[in-house]
Amino acid sequence: MSAIELVVTANGETRMVFDDRVDLRSMGCISIRRGSHVEPTSGGQWTSDLSPVAGPTLGPFDKRSEALAAEVTWLHRNWLVRSPE
């Protein structure tokens, strides 16, 4: 099982890639926003569209699970610790 990463900014904003193991309601007032769209292509493959966080479209992947894994990896490497815009 992988670790859950929480980033708390200087202004108190907390970022994380959503994980059901954390009950976010226990942290107070929350705002959950979509980081990407994992969607099928017309050819039966999968892409991860990270445009909601100003990222690229990844793929295509043969399996949805591969697209989801690429999405999480990209979010951890490029969005989680990025300064707010």
| CB burial readout 30-50, b (16+ within 10 A) else e | eeeeebbebeeeeeeebbbbb
Confidence tier at 23 by pLDDT (50, 70, 90):
confident
Encode pLDDT of 41-73 as tens digits: 999 999 999 999 999 999 999 999 999 999 999
Confidence tier at 1 by pLDDT (50, 70, 90):
low
Q: Are residues 22 and 55 in contact, defined by beta-carbon separation less than 8 angstroms?
A: no
- Please give the pLDDT value at position 83: 57
**Residue-range domain boundaries for the chain:** 7-79
